[in-house]
Amino acid sequence: MRLAEPKSGYAAGIVAAIAIAGCSGSEIGIETVHSDDPVIVLSEGECDQTCPVYDMTLKPDGSYLLNGVRFVKTSGVSDGGLGTDAWAAAEKALTDASFWLIAPDQTSSTQTTCQSGAPIAAVTWRTADGKQKTLNYRAGCGGPEGRILIPALRSAMQFDALVWTEDRFAPDGSR
């Protein structure tokens, strides 16, 4: 009987180790929300200059909803379609950046060295099964993943065609 006890303890230890390994313990900042509504959202905000301020939500079918706030090509809400390639490119950018593994808050509140006045971005990825995470990222604070991810998402979501403008604006937004 004494031999059975160590085997039971050993087996329990193996089961616990497998369970821990299977839980993706390195994923950070993930929550489970409603399923069957996958989206990728890119929101960019204020900076010391005239950075575009907007929110863009992309769906798997390539449809988007864009809210242009300030320093953008068109202010207000618009929608349209970019095609399924846009979703695939956005998912690839997130996957390449190891989105589920990177720290969810890369701003001055968690980083010791930050470049002041740099723009802030928030990226939310919600999968069809309800897995969701939001990355808050300030350029000049966060790691290299964000420096690569934000431009890749902009490209996938056709930022240059839909958001960016060469127009000159007054820093106070008066135009």
Q: What is the DSSP string of 14-57?
A: HHHHHHHHHTTTT--S-EE--SS--EEEEEE---SS---EEEEE
Do the domain assignments include residue 47?
yes
Q: Which domain holds residue 125?
A: 28-162
How many structural domains comprise the chain? 1
Residue 23 has pLDDT above 60, yes or no: no
Which are the contacts of 91, defined by CB distance < 8 A and separation ≥ 6? 40
Do the domain assignments include residue 11?
no
Residue 25 has pLDDT above 80, yes or no: no
C-alpha of 40 from chain center: 7
C-alpha 140/C-alpha 113 separation (Å) is 8
Q: What does the pLDDT look like over 47-57, one tens digit per residue? A: 888 899 999 99
The Cα angle at residue 64 between residues 63 and 65, in degrees rounded to 5: 140
**pTM for the complete prediction?**
0.81
**pLDDT at residue 170 in the model:** 77
Do the domain assignments include residue 95?
yes
Q: How would residue 169 be classed by pLDDT, with cut points 50, 70 and 90?
A: confident
Do the domain assignments include residue 114?
yes
Q: What does the pLDDT look like over 87-130, one tens digit per residue? A: 999 999 999 999 999 999 988 888 778 888 888 999 999 999 99
Residue 12 has pLDDT above 80, yes or no: no
Do the domain assignments include residue 175?
no
Residue 8 has pLDDT above 80, yes or no: no
Which SS3 state, helix, strand or coil, does residue 153 take? helix
Q: What does the pLDDT look like over 69-80, one tens digit per residue? A: 999 999 999 999
Do the domain assignments include residue 149?
yes
The CATH code of the domain that includes 93 is 3.30.1560
**Better-predicted residue by pLDDT, 4 or 101:** 101
